[in-house]
């Protein structure tokens, strides 16, 4: 794995740096891939011109399996019937056109010839020496890595999905809302507190309604007088009524308000 890609993934996992830094490493990774593709293309071109091996000729094949006197083994496969012809390393020692892979990569052409300096009869320089100018025959031109390309690669990373989830959670924790001129924190604890207050207000409303309407009381008792098991602060299981849990909730919210200074 590319060191730049590995670094970008770790940065996303830890979430300790901004996305601009992650994108910078991902850009370097993409440029690295681009250079590798270019080098492979040049290498493939080179080995088409100067392959390392060739097929054995039939005479070479027969010589390789025959004895010193040229006799062949009783059982042998005819050259024309071979599934794969044996390979022979090519000798380029007599080939004047041969160049190494590095020489092929670094081959240059002359852009402008050198120009010798000129002098007058007293030896004073009239025009200076101009050196020869060359350029690579096969230069590497880096691909332009646009923001769109980086964003597309970033979206493919599994680590980016987790990063977005964490970022969204962080953003959620910063939410504030306004109601009747008061700003409310809408983070996890804030939402929980508001839900708790509303639930307890609903309980108070229902109890008040039942107290004022005898025909509703049986329904209230069927719901809130129903018993359930509850593990108390003493770590023991107690049989309590739902009404008692609601009343404990009201008392808990009152004490909680004291602690946070909201009473």
pLDDT tens per residue, range 173-231: 566 767 777 776 666 676 676 777 777 778 888 888 888 888 888 888 888 888 878 88
Q: Kindly state whether residues 103 and 24 are assigned to the same domain.
A: yes
In a domain, 147, yes or no: yes
- Count of other CB atoms within 10 angstroms of residue 11: 21
User: Comparing 74 with 104, which gets the higher pLDDT?
Assistant: 104
**β-strands 118-119, 108-112: how paired?**
unpaired
Quick one: average pLDDT of 168-177? 62
Do 42 and 104 lie in a common domain? Answer: yes
pLDDT of residue 66: 83
Q: Which of 57-61, 111-115, 258-262 has the lowest mean pLDDT?
A: 258-262
User: Which residue, 105, 136, 160, sits at the end of a domain?
Assistant: 160
Residues above pLDDT 90, as percent of the chain: 45
pLDDT, position 163: 77
If you average pLDDT over each of 11-25, 44-58, 174-188, 197-211, which comes out highest? Answer: 44-58
- Cα–Cα dist 180/148, whole Å: 44
Residue 155 lies in a domain: yes
Domain end marker among 160, 186, 207 = 160
pLDDT of residue 235: 86
Least confident of 1-10, 32-41, 238-247: 238-247
Candidates 122, 116, 89, 104; CA nearest to 39 is: 104
Residue 190: the pLDDT is 64
Same-domain check for residues 119 and 228? no
Q: Burial level of 12, CB count in 10 A (0-12/13-18/19+)?
A: buried
Residues 197 and 245 occupy one common structural domain: yes
Is pTM beyond 0.85 here?
no
Q: Is residue 245 part of a domain?
A: yes
* Domain termination site, one of 160, 186, 203: 160
In this predicted structure, what is the pLDDT of residue 188?
Answer: 63
254 within 8 A of 247, measured Cβ to Cβ = no
* Weakest mean pLDDT among 62-66, 69-73, 97-101, 172-176: 172-176
Q: Per mean pLDDT, which range of 117-131, 188-202, 225-239 is the poorest?
A: 188-202
By the 10 Å C-beta count (0-12 exposed, 13-18 middle, 19+ buried), 99 is classed as middle
Terminal CA-to-CA distance of the chain, rounded, Å? 58
Asked whether residue 8 falls in the same domain as residue 132, the answer is yes
Percentage of the chain exceeding pLDDT 70: 88
Whether residue 186 is found in the same domain as residue 254:
yes
- Regarding whether 184 and 146 lie in a shared domain, the answer is no
Could you give the maximum distance between any two Cα atoms of the chain, in Å?
Answer: 131
DSSP letter for 69, please: T
Instruction: Locate all alpha helices (DSSP H) within 121-260, ordered by sequence.
Output: 147-156, 158-172, 188-212, 217-224, 242-259
Q: Are residues 148 and 207 in the same domain?
A: no
Q: Is residue 3 within a helix (H) or strand (E), and if so which, with residue range?
A: helix 3-14
**pLDDT, tens digit, for every residue of 135-159?**
999 999 999 999 999 999 999 998 8
Given a cut of 70, whether residue 259 has pLDDT beyond it is no
* Number of domains observed in the structure of the chain: 2
Q: Residue 71 gets which letter from DSSP?
A: P
Range of the domain at 131: 3-52+90-160
What pLDDT is recorded for position 37? 96
Alpha-carbon distance of 194 to 212, in angstroms, equals: 27
pLDDT given for residue 14 in this prediction: 84
């Amino acid at each position: 794995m590319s060191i730049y890609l590995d670094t970008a993934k770790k940065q996303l996992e830890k979430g300790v740096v901004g996305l601009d830094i992650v994108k910078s490493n991902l850009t370097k990774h993409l440029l690295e891939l681009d250079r590798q593709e270019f080098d492979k293309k040049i290498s493939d071109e080179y080995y088409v011109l100067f392959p390392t091996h060739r097929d054995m000729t039939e005479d070479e094949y027969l010589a390789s399996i025959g004895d010193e006197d040229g006799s062949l083994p009783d059982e042998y496969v005819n050259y024309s019937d071979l599934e794969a012809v044996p390979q022979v390393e090519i000798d380029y020692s007599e080939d004047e056109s041969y160049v190494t892979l590095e020489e092929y990569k670094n081959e240059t052409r002359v852009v402008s010839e050198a120009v010798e300096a000129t002098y007058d009869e007293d030896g004073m320089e009239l025009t200076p020496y101009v050196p020869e100018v060359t350029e690579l025959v096969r230069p590497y031109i880096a691909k332009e890595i646009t923001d769109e390309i980086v964003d597309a690669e970033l979206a493919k990373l599994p680590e980016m999905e987790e990063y977005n989830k964490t970022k969204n959670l962080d953003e959620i924790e910063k939410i504030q809302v306004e109601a009747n001129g008061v700003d409310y924190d809408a983070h996890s604890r804030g939402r929980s507190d508001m839900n708790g207050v509303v639930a307890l207000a609903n309980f108070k409303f229902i109890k008040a309604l039942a107290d004022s309407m005898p025909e509703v009381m049986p329904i209230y008792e069927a719901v809130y007088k129903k018993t359930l098991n509850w593990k108390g602060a003493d770590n023991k299981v107690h049989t309590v009524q739902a009404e008692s849990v609601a009343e404990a909730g009201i008392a808990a919210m009152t004490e909680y308000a004291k602690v946070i200074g909201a009473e």
